[in-house]
Structure 1
């Protein structure tokens, strides 16, 4: 059970809710703060004080006063008009994460919603009712307005959901689970949509996948080291301590551990004096990507517990401030950084693929072909990897450097963070497929060099990989192998192989 209080949610908790379907509850003490915050909103409505978002219009309409009898209609109109998302829906796990993160933000007690709003968000999570939320249409300030509006529709008994493997109207799923739709009251519509939960939810899922991709890249690179008889001296701890980056030192340590008893790796001068950078500089390049991922993790851990609503209610309503916590710039920059970090893991992987297939750069059969000339072997797999990394380079262009004014220039700088998070997700999927190609080629190269000489840890991974991708004894439709390997890498239980980062740090 994961209990929400607005302050202590962790990435581990989110992972448990998203993938292990852990149940969610609300902290009673936190809900007391919610009640007090709501009482402040009710007083404002009763006393007819003019406060943005409670009894005014929105954006450029912030100076338009709304009559008390029209406050509920104001919230309904807000959600309907802002539900402008387009394109393919977010993955279900992202929609689920958005429910969780919005509930955690509202339970902080700064937003003025009734407890029932938070209870309904949690009901949807526990019933596995996931709103269908189009991916495109958010500027990332004032928050993820369009995506979160599609989430809010479901609370009202509208919109569509993913439920038990089907895409159905939201009201049908609510009825099947005995969940009553909500009529939004003052400020509640705005509180539901004014935040960064779309980009942050996508960012959390991205980080969890990127972390695994980075770990995968090290094991796969280790098998490539064996296939190419790589030189281990470059991984000596003294080399990396001399530079001082902890992440670089940790990568080198993990590679040394994976290859500690290998009979295929070599020493300086044994076969050659130096390896190419794509082998020799694995700790430096992969380590730098880990540095970026650590930055991303730090920002996500803050944002998942942040109050991103506007206005915010303090001191039981004594202070209500219209600010800008909905602006997604911190996550926008983090997502752009993540894009570059993961793209680089794919870039260096593609260069190792080239070294595995190019007969001018190794002592393996040309293109790892069982019959060079008659059979092309892995030739076109390298083409596919090159295409994927080239696509990543276009996706890695930072979204956060763009801004288009909106709401008649009232909202004149926006983050585009949701675009960055979506592009980061695409880069991660591409990178995993590049690593799948490197894995296929590395397995074949290690087979030519002698599997019996592999290190014990890489040999275990080799044997398991061969259950997914058989040895190349004849040309076949390699697209199937690439996809099978990519799916396996995504679903792999790395703890079963002891390939966690925490272990490497110990």
Structure 2
């Protein structure tokens, strides 16, 4: 199938003044959807009114921050009329000081989509042509090469978004088919004419929360799947440990009315029916990492609606400064670039996610320890006979999982409390939302590695439990899940890094259908 055929087969996400969802941004980020600027004449006229009002204000010698003045603390500096047109170029040029890794293509597509969403609200004083130029970059697969570090999250994501502004004008570099290419060459070869930014357009592109919001959308998508996958792992761990399914009893959970926690317990009941699992001689109460798993996973499950509301409200906001009310011909100076809601959501999410990593790490510690795993071999080694002496099972994998967990827990310090006064004390209280979002994605990455280790572990534990306690029945859909992992039982020691990486890829691709979503 040709590229044009693939593009035409994708659904289109329409950008106008209507509300977008996290799923819309994720679909664009993953290449499953295209970005389409609404062709509606009324919508486009509303966008144009803001830009036209600004033009008229300039002709009438109006004083507009960031248009006829310098930026930030330099707002007291008046720009000579003959230099006003050059100001946007200087803005994105001097902000070209980012560092660190580059955002990957999926993250970058999400950033472009999030910025387009805000500008399409019609309060930024930009032209329709600017919005179309962003869609052209996405359609052509020309993605600005954006360094991840350098934003304090207010006055917006200035430094990273300067790379978008520059590329729109044919400067700096882009990703193209996985290669780094000079933007001027890439635009020319794609038949895209570089923009000459209008007076406020540089500020409108850069002075907003698009980077942190885009990353938050991606983080939410991964965290939502983590809830279900950690629940399934807990079910398999309980089976492998010959645990007590009655810990997830419906009446028991009815008296602690946290809906997300109750939902986790309900999912566990579909995997662990008590009629199959009741046997004499069981330990009366399982250890906390099994018995209290709904309470740990449920914190994230219950927080997800709050996170969604805050992320989607930010996504659907006009968040630069000043805002331009073209209908009423007003210039509104404020601080909507402040990313506090995203910062708080990301700090909260990384805490809840890291606690799930810790939960699973504790489950693994039980599973590999012959003192606590109810009759399974030490380190879940599958080797028997004389060769058992030289085989070590999952001993090293448990060490690695513990290291990943420790790093995830270390990153839970909230970024939002580390506000710094910057830019001559003009930006004297900042959100740190982008740092919080990057931290959250790193915590998710580490937790997904722990999840991969646990998938290997529960697969091995389930195989050994069937061998040690053959009368225990595993639900058919759990058998299917184990088989779908694509991991052979470990009888002789083998390297596992390739399998771990493959599992992490499957986790991020949501390879397994997990429970019905209501």
Superposition TM-score, scaled by structure 1 size:
0.95
Shift in Å, 1:92? 1.1
**SS at 1:249's partner residue?**
helix
Task: Tell me the residue number matched to 1:396.
Answer: 412
Task: Tell me the residue number matched to 1:483.
Answer: 501
**SS at 1:400's partner residue?**
helix
**SS at 1:23's partner residue?**
strand
Task: Tell me the residue number matched to 1:366.
Answer: 378
CA distances 1:228-256 after superposition (whole Å, capped 9, x unpaired) = 11111111111111010000110011111
Shift in Å, 1:261? 8.6
CA distances 1:105-152 after superposition (whole Å, capped 9, x unpaired) = 111111101111000011111222111100000000000000000111
Task: Tell me the residue number matched to 1:95.
Answer: 108
Distance 1:457 1:259, change over 3 A: farther
Shift in Å, 1:292? 2.3
Shift in Å, 1:489? 1.9
Shift in Å, 1:219? 1.2
Shift in Å, 1:311? 0.2
Inter-partner Cα distance in structure 2 for 1:124 and 1:315: 27
The correspondence for 2:453, drawn from 406, 419, 437, is 437
Shift in Å, 1:217? 1.0
The correspondence for 1:122, drawn from 135, 139, 148, is 135
The correspondence for 1:354, drawn from 362, 365, 379, is 365
Matches within 5 A, 1:124-273: 124-260=137-273, 263=276, 265-266=277-278, 270-273=281-284
Inter-partner Cα distance in structure 2 for 1:261 and 1:237: 11
1:8 aligns with 2:35: no
Shift in Å, 1:262? 8.7
Shift in Å, 1:199? 0.6
Task: Tell me the residue number matched to 1:278.
Answer: 289
The answer to whether the Cα contact below 8 Å between 1:31 and 1:107 also exists between their aligned partners in 2 is no
Matches within 5 A, 1:407-446: 407-446=423-462
Inter-partner Cα distance in structure 2 for 1:471 and 1:21: 35
**SS at 2:261's partner residue?**
helix
The answer to whether the Cα contact below 8 Å between 1:254 and 1:504 also exists between their aligned partners in 2 is no
The correspondence for 1:448, drawn from 464, 467, 470, is 464
The correspondence for 2:316, drawn from 302, 305, 317, is 305
The answer to whether the Cα contact below 8 Å between 2:355 and 2:409 also exists between their aligned partners in 1 is no
The answer to whether the Cα contact below 8 Å between 1:55 and 1:66 also exists between their aligned partners in 2 is yes
1:470 aligns with 2:482: no
Inter-partner Cα distance in structure 1 for 2:444 and 2:275: 30
Shift in Å, 1:470? 1.4
1:385 aligns with 2:405: no
| Paired residue total | 496
Q: Which moved more, 1:316-325 or 1:55-64?
A: 316-325
Superposition TM-score, scaled by structure 2 size:
0.93
